[in-house]
Amino acid sequence: MTRGAIETKIDKTRRAFVQLREQLVAVPPSVPQGLEVLEEIVTTMEELEVAAEELRGQNDELASARLAVEAQCERYRDLFHDAPNGFVVTDAGGVIREANRCAAQLLHVSAERLIGKPLSLFVAAEDRRPFRTLLADLGQDQGVRHTSLHLHPRDGSTVRMVMDVSAHGDQASGRPRLYWVLHDPSRAERQVEGLESALEREHQAMARMRALDELKNEALEDLSHDLRNPLTAIVGFASVLETIDLSQEQARDAVRRMAANARKLERFLSQLLDFDTKTQGSGVVHRQPTDVTALAQSVASEWATSESPVTLEDAPSVTADVEPALVERIVENLIVNAQKHAPPEGRVVVGVVRQAGGVLLTVTDTGPGVPDEFKARVFSRHFRLPGSESPGTGLGLNLVARFAEMHGGRAWVEDAEGDGASFRVFLPLPAEATQKSSEDSSGTA
């Protein structure tokens, strides 16, 4: 009978006795003994009501305890099924009674289908005898046993599994139950490998960051070098205009050159954001058909002065697929370098010729030349010839070599005929351009 039914019956009985008492009170006092009996019954009913109240309190406590036990069981089930290791509960004979999700994943069988199957089905043949011996020992030993067995999951693989197993008595049946914890060493090894791989990627990322930081510093230094040449020209022409009376034509020419160098400064500044990419040697070269001869002539005209003339060798015009801005800076840096080392009234000659598979740029001066022992180092960053008193940072020729490499070419220096040095840059054409050039030559022939 439920608590509610008991309370209803008690309440109904109490009301019946109250009604009976009222009837007896109305009876003449010739039957006092019946009244006393009735009073005792009423007292008993009141005691029953107190007992019922206590019972209600106990039932409430039991209900709270039951809810707490259910919540604890639910937490256990969550911990059991979501545990990172495989958990299997078997009877003393090794038949699976419970298995969590990780164990099901390790054995490649759903947790529901594992119930009722002998764990020995998944033990490799060579380990079944030690497994049975372990089961027999666990029936006599309540401690934790550590073992290693080879299992055959349903995917056909063989996995070495490290196990911790202990025996505990089942309170309901009194029979022992075995609790197995399955550890997959290969999973830990994969996790270690993953961590090592992540650490290696982190080291590589740090190395790239350091390289990018160094590259940024180099880029800013290179940019300051590139800005110095046109800025020097602007200051020079401005000084001439300020201190020397020039004819109208001479003044117009000076202003034209100042404007040209100012536009060059503007172009350099607009390239500031992607300058570091350009100087890596792996940046994309934006090639386009360019009249290299006309470009070299323009640069030579900008830097030619009466004290240091710059001329262009007579040769057929050469058009090639190159990046004009980089080729312009190659020619400019070579001319500036030649002018620094040429003697007073010295000459600087620029040449542009087509060679098999590319274009050859040359800038020849009448200076002291480059000794043989320094020819391999003259394009190195910050390198300057010993004893050189010419101003500069040693970056110009390094930029020449790097811009040539970006085109897939190279830069080198040779002795000029007579005195001086001949700096040379070979820019190979793309395969398509080379093929087209060969076809055009064949058609012309």
State pLDDT tens for residues 144-173.
Answer: 888 889 998 888 888 888 889 988 876 666
pLDDT band with cut points at 50, 70 and 90 for residue 229: confident
Concatenated DSSP letters of 80-137: HHH-SSEEEEEETT-BEEEE-HHHHHHHTS-HHHHTTSBGGGGB-GGGHHHHHHHHHH
Question: Residue 223 has what pLDDT?
Answer: 65
The first and second tokens of residue 380, run together, are 């190195």
Parse the chain into domains and list their residue ranges: 3-73, 83-183, 191-280, 284-444
Measured CA to CA, the distance from residue 237 to residue 251 in angstroms comes to: 9
Question: Residue 441 has what pLDDT?
Answer: 43
- Higher-confidence position of 221 and 235: 235
Q: Which helix (H) or strand (E) holds 164?
A: strand 159-169
State pLDDT tens for residues 418-439.
Answer: 788 999 999 998 864 444 444 4
Please provide the CATH number assigned to the domain covering 284-444.
3.30.565.10
Measured CA to CA, the distance from residue 20 to residue 442 in angstroms comes to: 135
How buried is 21 (Cβ within 10 angstroms: 0-12 exposed, 13-18 middle, 19+ buried)? middle
Question: Residue 435 has what pLDDT?
Answer: 47
Q: Which of 82, 106, 94 is CA-nearest to residue 130?
A: 94
> Average pLDDT over the chain, rounded to whole?
79
pLDDT band with cut points at 50, 70 and 90 for residue 238: confident
CB atoms within 10 A of CB 256: 12
Any idea which fold 191-280 has? Helix Hairpins (1.10.287)
Contacts of residue 330, defined as CB under 8 A and 6 or more positions apart, other chains included, come to 361, 399, 400, 403, 404, 425
Question: Residue 440 has what pLDDT?
Answer: 45
Question: Residue 231 has what pLDDT?
Answer: 82
pLDDT band with cut points at 50, 70 and 90 for residue 201: confident
Q: Which of 314, 321, 326 is CA-nearest to residue 352?
A: 314
- Higher-confidence position of 392 and 6: 6
The first and second tokens of residue 252, run together, are 């117009």
Q: Is 90 exceeded by the pLDDT of residue 362?
A: yes
DSSP state, 181?
E
CATH for the 83-183 domain, from 3.30.420.480, 3.40.190.290, 3.50.50.60, 3.30.450.20? 3.30.450.20
